[in-house]
Structure 1
Amino acid sequence: MKNKRSRPSNGRNVEQQVLQQFRLFVLGRLEPSGMDLFALKSLLLLFLFVGRCAAQDVLPPGPVDAILGRNVTLKTLIDKSEYSFIIWNHSDGKEQDNVATLGPSGLKVNERFEGRVSINATNGYLSLFSLKSEDSGDYSINLIAADGTTSTGEIKLQVLEPVSDVLIKPNMPEAIEHNSTVVLNCSAKGSFLKFTWTNGTMPIVADGKRVTLKTEEASSSLTFAGVLRTDLVGPIYCTAANALETEKSAPFNLTVYYGPDEVTVSPAKPPQYIRAKSDFNLTCSTRSSPPATFQWYHKETLMEAMDPVLTLQIIEKHGLGKEMGSYMCKAKNAKTERVASSPAVTFAVMEAISGVKITGPTEVLFAGNSTANLTCQATAGTVKTKTWLKDGKPLMASTRVVYYNNMSSVFINMLQKEDNGEYKCQLSNPVNTDGASYKMVVNYGPEQAVVRGEEAVEVNDPIKLTCAAMSVPAATYTWKFNGTETKITTADYIIEKAAYKNTGTYTCQASNSVTGKSSTTTHNLSVKEEGALDEGLSDGAIAGIVIAVLVALGAAIGLIFYCRQKVPVESPY
């Protein structure tokens, strides 16, 4: 921008002549025929250099940007016009034309700007309407005062085409990860465009190697060499902008096919043995786009199984699993044509143990007279280990307890009373454990009967005598008093209040109805008068009394000696 104010150096007469000629032209008194085009342009150029020199800012800094088809106002820096003439000119860089001139007789507009220009008489603002592309260029203003003083200024106007039609086009409809080079071309309409690329809201930054960016006047291309699946997750946007407008493209997505990546089988470490007919299965998985297809192999032999899940039912249907074997899956991507294999997993299928039963003696067993043979069997399953328990503890082999038939059976020779109890057989394999129980009853006894109770009581004291004898089945009891049968048939003989007549001998007989044996014992009881059984001082109490007496005696003797020493004895002389 240039601003100046000047006066001609050749004197007052030249200035007056020029002004007079300009007034005649503006006021219409000078016919167009009286001044040819060359003279008119020369006159306009002359005003650029005529005037008295005085610094004054007329126009603000430029350039001014405006949108094609819209309106713009070129403002000045003057608050109030004190000029007789305001002249606006336009230059496209090749030649200069008058836009409009505002003088005392009104506004004169160049034919090219007819109907699209106004000048504000107060501040000199030039308003242009319905802008055209050719309106771009340098605009100069000449302000002529009544005394011939001129002020000039210049500012650039850039008429920008609106930003529109921002569009992304790829060089291919779909891509293969690592293999494809994807070029996205963004085109747009508009002037002085700048392009930016974003992935979602994050700017895409070119590294100059794998990701490169090339921008031209109306387009921008973004290149991904060896495209990755994450490059175009998107949506991808291209934004075109100039100083006045910004326009964003529609969201763009491009499918990048990839995989299969690492193929895994779950569980990666299955048990060595799998229970037959269980819901066990193998699942093959991998990351792949589009989803991979799967094939299962048993020891490198293709199976008729195409699903990602290989069920135990399919394995058994193929007649597999009875022996230890390996299984693996392969994943294939139909788009990338890549194939990847999983690590192999190894296992065997084993039938669970069921239907365990113990068979044992059915006859009545007697201690010291019977033997027992117990056998444990299962109706299904593979048995790997056998364990025998008695009353929850391991049944140990001995001279009487003998295992045979690979521990499926146990023989107990000459049963004893200690052989009574619960026998349990546990059959196990790697997939389960099952068992059965057998209750063994060995009849014996009764052994020697014993009566527990007081041997002497006082009159009116309660009496309770209890008879016990080890026996299987439990013994029955009868009582005699002084050799006479009583009605008592329980283990306890109870008398609520003792009387002298209850003194005597009580006989208990224990009987076993199965063994046919019995055992007898006697108990003597004496009933005494009240207080007869009161206990005297205990040995401890007697010892305490003796000690106390000795202490008191010692203290008395000591006191006597002490008193004799304190009383003076008279001399006989």
Structure 2
Amino acid sequence: MFMSTRWRSELIVCILYQPFVLKQIRRFELQLHADQSSITIMMVFRGLYWTLWMFSCIENIHNRLIVPEQSLTEDESSVNTISLPHAVQVQGKDHQWPELINGAVGGSVKFTPNNPPSTAIDIINWQFGTTIILTGNPDSPFVASAYRDRVSFDKNTLALELRNLKLEDSGSYSLTVVPSSGDQVRGETALQVFEKINNRLIVPEQSLAEDESSVNTISLPHPVQVQGQNVDRDLQIPELTNEVVGGSVKFIPNNPPSTAIKVVQWKFGTTGILTGPPDSPLIVSTYRNRISFDKNTLSLELRNLKLEDSGSYSLIALDSGANQLRGETSLQVFEKNVDEDLQLPELTTGGVGGHVMFIPNKIPSTAINVIIWQFGTTIILTGNPDSPSVTSAYRDRVSFDKSTLSLELRNLKLEDSGSYSLTLLTSSGDQLRGETLLHVFDYIHDVILIGPEEALIERESSANITSKGSGTITSVQWMKDNSPLSSSSRIIFSSDNRSVSISPVERSDTGEYQCTYSNPVSSETAKLTLIINYGPDGVSIRGPDVVDLGVQVSLSCSAKSEPSASFSWTFNGLDTGVTRDTLTIDKTDFTDSGKYICTAFNRITNRRESQKHMLLVQGKDHQLPELINGAVGESVKLTPNNPPSTAIDIINWQFGTTIILTGNPHSPVVASAYRDRVSFDKNTLALELRNLKLEDSGSYSLTVVPSSGDQVRGETTLQVFGEYLGQDLQFPGQTYGAIGGSVMFTPENLGSIGIDVQITWNFGATNILTGKPESPTIVPAYVDRVSFDQNTLSLELRNLKMEDSGSYILTVTPVSGDQLRGETTLQLFENITNVRLTGPEETLIEDESFANITSEGSGTITSVQWMKDNSPLSSSSRIIFSSDNRSVSISPVERSDTGEYQCTYSNPVSSETAKLTLIINYGPEGVSIKGPDEMDLGVQVFLSCFANSEPSASFSWTLNGSDTGVTTDKYTIDKTDFTDSGEYICTAYNRVTNRSESIGHVLRIQVGGGGLSTGAVVGIAIGVSVAVSGFCGLIVYFTKNNIIPKPNCLKRDEASGATAQRGQELDISFEETNNFPDTNGDGNHIYENRNEIYENAPNRPSCSTAPPLQARK
């Protein structure tokens, strides 16, 4: 025993004079040192006396009465000290017991409660740990067979006498009393059984002289239990642990010290288990392979339990302040299955106010004398199964079924949680026991979610959602829109999982959040909707770029926004007063041409975004060039500059009043006189007139009747000249320009003009410049915007504006001769910019996903063209274009859809292309393995696995059903062995499509034949044939004469490769002995069955398990 303090005691020596007169002669000091087990007594005996010694310990040692067995004589006698038990009264739960009772092997003890109940008693129950000793009515209790000859019971005092004590009787003993009225009461004590203590003689080594000599008493190694006040209570360890033979147990202090521990010691009784510093304690050799020690918790695990491990275990710890802490526990080890005979469910759950049923899965077939249902140590019912007595506390709450021995417990409370045990005493005296655990949960209710009250703005706000609820909560699960909510760098759960923080919020966080509180008996879900405000962004305007005069036009503005955005419109910088998403022009006018800007505004985010749209209104009149010149025998093309943008029902081309062609644009009727001379373009409505004649000169008109709106008409004049053109100036019929750019108007047939001419350039009726070619006068509005070339009479117009669209006329007036005139039309477009493609954000999987690609851009857009991988993209049953050709939908996607998509916005002066790449994920499929089917022993082999997959597949390999650990597309065997034979399966896996596909490949390893000459091979073959023939002859002879039994080859116990998986029956017959096995280079035979190969070295199967022998060619 380690002791960290000194004890001061008083020794009183009483001298007994005859006739029995006591005289106190001296008071001495006794010191018991912590570092040794000796007692030093400073005293001298005087005379021959009978003496009485009494040690009165002030602090930690219980009183001990030391009584001499004989008279003591000075310098001659010795003292034999006997340790008697000292009963310490401990107030228990109900009864008062001695805390510890000591007994000797072969002796007896009596457990007597100090305060038995005064009321009538219905049931008493004495137990050793969980083992019943006796139970039933006090007048006639039932005694377990194991204790029938060893116990006596006193019904008046409820005392139990236990005789013929054994070491394994050490442990906890409890008495439960169920009175006729009132609550049941319980008391508990512990018994420690020791081997008997031999006498010890205390003999001084020399004569003692008063005030000079001393006596040293040395303690010999015998187990003496010293009990003190709270010595064993510093460290709290469970009082009693039960386990079975072969199992393990862990002794864990409930309150390990917080201070540093210098020395720790674990003991079994008085036998040391380990001692020393916690980081490196010394372990006794007998325990070295059976224990584990945790330096942090000071816990001790004891494994491979034996019956003799039953007893008392103590822990002593010495901290850095020289304080000693101590704790003690008891272990009871039983034979296996003592408590396993009755099988009860390991765990039962119930809700407060509900009920549960404890039903044994296995009950004995023999008659049962006594049944006991207990809650922990509290008896619920006991007695004969036909009429058991139910304790008053459970009378209205339980029902018992004698046929199944089941117990129903109703009106459950939280405090009903705990261990429930059923113990049976059979008529044969056997005790059977089963145990289960009940967890009672309070039903979950009033679950609510509390979220942010302020408006949440994307990328600015944070959101905290907190859950609350009542009941026993064992699990908290979060969902969003019916899918699990996972943590991320933005989404963080609290440590108890009862709240979630999202920072910053994004629009994808909008949705319904669900929090479910649950336990095994109930659950409840609360819901909360978060709305994340964002935008506006992605503002776009849908509507035509070019419209006819006098028609209705609508421009629609859209934006991604939460809440929905409000809109405002401006036209050429001026507020229109329109505050809806759609701007409508009831009847277009030329003044409606210009820039329209839509501005979207979000009142919550206080953000706004704008988009512009250019609209050109083209007139109904003068849709054709005013004058067209042609030469005899040539051809001309009459092309309207502004064909209607709406659907057309009827077109009509006329020469004067003579109809050339009329009808639907797709199939017009051509007059017979023109059948071989004209061609019509249904898209541009242009008319080509061939083989011109002088009489073709005149007025040509085009009338168009649209499906909706007013009909429109255009007119032009054709002048057909002979071999030489007249004096009119020729310009291109149409000139195109870009806003902010420049154009050059140049006459194509100027020829030679005199020096004395007057020139004029006009924009419609507005003069631009006039005067002589060498020094024309430019009007102020055009001074900085035009340049004139006196040689070619060409006019350059810069810094173009939308209002510059219209007719430009050059007039040349000589001093003498005819006036020359030429005219052209300028149409302006806004340059195309910011063309972009928006595609799907999610992963695309073949035959599962669909893809929408949308184009956006700015400027005057007259044409939209789609390409894929630089080839035109055509519509199909899967590929569908929108009505305005600005988006395309592919459903479902296929792998051939992978590629670069291009969308080109264009007009006559500019174009811009946006690109987007789609990747379609597919596979794996077409998995194949390349490699040999047969290989020689001891060579390198490669198997390669291939699969069609996007993205590339990952691979795994198995051999005969076992994972090889190889995760590459190539499987390498550095040096083949017979164990490498079998079926190799390669599995390809695509992590995106979550699909997999496998393929098998059988490889057979055989002995190579390299190195032997033909003669050697023939010689070996002949030798082997002769030897095998002789061997087979002997087998046949012995078999026919019954000298050896015919083999009976049974099903193999163990097989490798594919055969083992098929579990086929393997038999052998002597008719197959002509199929001689091959031999390898070492002379070992190779036995083969399908894909299985065996050597006659240690792995070759015996006859009773071998597969059929087959000769391998």
Q: Report the number of matched residues.
A: 365
Aligned residue for 1:329, secondary structure, equals strand
Aligned residue for 1:263, secondary structure, equals strand
Give matches, 1:368-447, under 5 Å.
385-387=626-628, 420=695, 423-425=698-700, 434-435=714-715
Q: CA deviation at 1:434?
A: 0.6
The 1:144/1:53 distance shift into structure 2, 3 A limit, reads farther
Give matches, 1:153-232, under 5 Å.
153-172=434-453, 174-207=455-488, 209-214=489-494, 216=496, 220-232=498-510
The 1:266/1:16 distance shift into structure 2, 3 A limit, reads same
Aligned residue for 1:259, secondary structure, equals strand
Distance in 2 (CA, whole Å) between partners of 1:34 and 1:64 is: 30
- Contact preservation (8 Å) 2:628, 2:717: no
Distance in 1 (CA, whole Å) between partners of 2:363 and 2:636 is: 120
Residue matched to 1:238: 515
- Contact preservation (8 Å) 1:164, 1:188: yes
Residue matched to 1:276: 549
Distance in 1 (CA, whole Å) between partners of 2:617 and 2:531 is: 44
Give matches, 1:323-402, under 5 Å.
325-342=594-611, 344-353=612-621, 385-387=626-628
Distance in 2 (CA, whole Å) between partners of 1:296 and 1:352 is: 27
Residue matched to 2:537: 261
Note if 1:82 corresponds to 2:367.
yes
Q: CA deviation at 1:176?
A: 2.5
Residue type of the partner of 1:345? Answer: H
Greater per-residue helix proportion: 1
Residue type of the partner of 1:257? Answer: N
- Contact preservation (8 Å) 1:237, 1:248: yes
Superimposed CA distance per residue, residues 297-316 of structure 1 (whole angstroms, 9 cap, x where no aligned partner): 23444332322223345986
Note if 1:308 corresponds to 2:618.
no
Superimposed CA distance per residue, residues 405-442 of structure 1 (whole angstroms, 9 cap, x where no aligned partner): xxxxxxxxxxxxx75456225699xx9861178999xx
- Contact preservation (8 Å) 2:370, 2:424: yes
Residue matched to 1:63: 347
Q: CA deviation at 1:122?
A: 3.9
The 1:66/1:79 distance shift into structure 2, 3 A limit, reads farther
Residue type of the partner of 1:211? Answer: I
Distance in 2 (CA, whole Å) between partners of 1:131 and 1:191 is: 14
Residue type of the partner of 1:200? Answer: D
Aligned residue for 1:230, secondary structure, equals helix
Q: CA deviation at 1:31?
A: 10
Residue type of the partner of 2:374? Answer: N
Distance in 2 (CA, whole Å) between partners of 1:127 and 1:161 is: 19
Q: CA deviation at 1:338?
A: 0.9
Superimposed CA distance per residue, residues 527-552 of structure 1 (whole angstroms, 9 cap, x where no aligned partner): xxxxxxxxxxxxxxxxxxxxxxxxxx
Distance in 2 (CA, whole Å) between partners of 1:82 and 1:20 is: 31
The 1:152/1:69 distance shift into structure 2, 3 A limit, reads same
Distance in 2 (CA, whole Å) between partners of 1:314 and 1:101 is: 101
Give matches, 1:55-134, under 5 Å.
55-56=337-338, 57=340, 58-76=342-360, 77-80=362-365, 82-91=367-376, 96-103=377-384, 106-134=387-415
Residue matched to 2:756: none
The 1:340/1:141 distance shift into structure 2, 3 A limit, reads same
Q: What value does the CA root-mean-square deviation take over the aligned residues?
A: 4.9
Distance in 2 (CA, whole Å) between partners of 1:171 and 1:35 is: 55
Q: CA deviation at 1:277?
A: 2.5
- Contact preservation (8 Å) 1:178, 1:226: yes
- TM-score, structure 1 length as denominator? 0.52
Q: CA deviation at 1:293?
A: 1.3
Distance in 1 (CA, whole Å) between partners of 2:461 and 2:502 is: 8
Superimposed CA distance per residue, residues 21-43 of structure 1 (whole angstroms, 9 cap, x where no aligned partner): 9899xxxxx99599997677679
Distance in 1 (CA, whole Å) between partners of 2:530 and 2:182 is: 68
- Contact preservation (8 Å) 1:117, 1:127: yes
- Contact preservation (8 Å) 1:259, 1:289: yes
Residue matched to 1:459: none
- Contact preservation (8 Å) 1:163, 1:247: yes
Distance in 2 (CA, whole Å) between partners of 1:121 and 1:133 is: 27
Distance in 2 (CA, whole Å) between partners of 1:242 and 1:35 is: 35
The 1:438/1:126 distance shift into structure 2, 3 A limit, reads closer
Residue type of the partner of 1:134? Answer: E
Aligned residue for 2:577, secondary structure, equals coil
Greater per-residue strand proportion: 2
Distance in 2 (CA, whole Å) between partners of 1:34 and 1:166 is: 43
Residue type of the partner of 2:153? Answer: Q
Residue matched to 2:422: 141
Distance in 1 (CA, whole Å) between partners of 2:346 and 2:524 is: 25
Distance in 2 (CA, whole Å) between partners of 1:285 and 1:231 is: 22
Unaligned runs of 5+ in 2: 1-128, 134-142, 161-176, 191-238, 243-330, 638-692, 704-710, 721-1113
Residue type of the partner of 1:66? Answer: G
Aligned residue for 1:340, secondary structure, equals strand
Residue type of the partner of 2:556? Answer: T
Superimposed CA distance per residue, residues 39-95 of structure 1 (whole angstroms, 9 cap, x where no aligned partner): 77679x99x99999784422435221112222212223324463322222223xxxx
Larger Rg belongs to: 1
The 1:193/1:203 distance shift into structure 2, 3 A limit, reads same
Distance in 1 (CA, whole Å) between partners of 2:180 and 2:394 is: 22
Residue matched to 2:836: none
- Contact preservation (8 Å) 2:373, 2:380: yes
- Contact preservation (8 Å) 1:385, 1:427: no
Percent identity over the alignment is 22
- Contact preservation (8 Å) 1:295, 1:307: yes
The 1:184/1:305 distance shift into structure 2, 3 A limit, reads same
Q: Which has the higher contact order (CA 8 A, sep 6+)?
A: 1
Distance in 2 (CA, whole Å) between partners of 1:142 and 1:112 is: 20
Unaligned runs of 5+ in 1: 25-29, 354-380, 397-417, 441-573
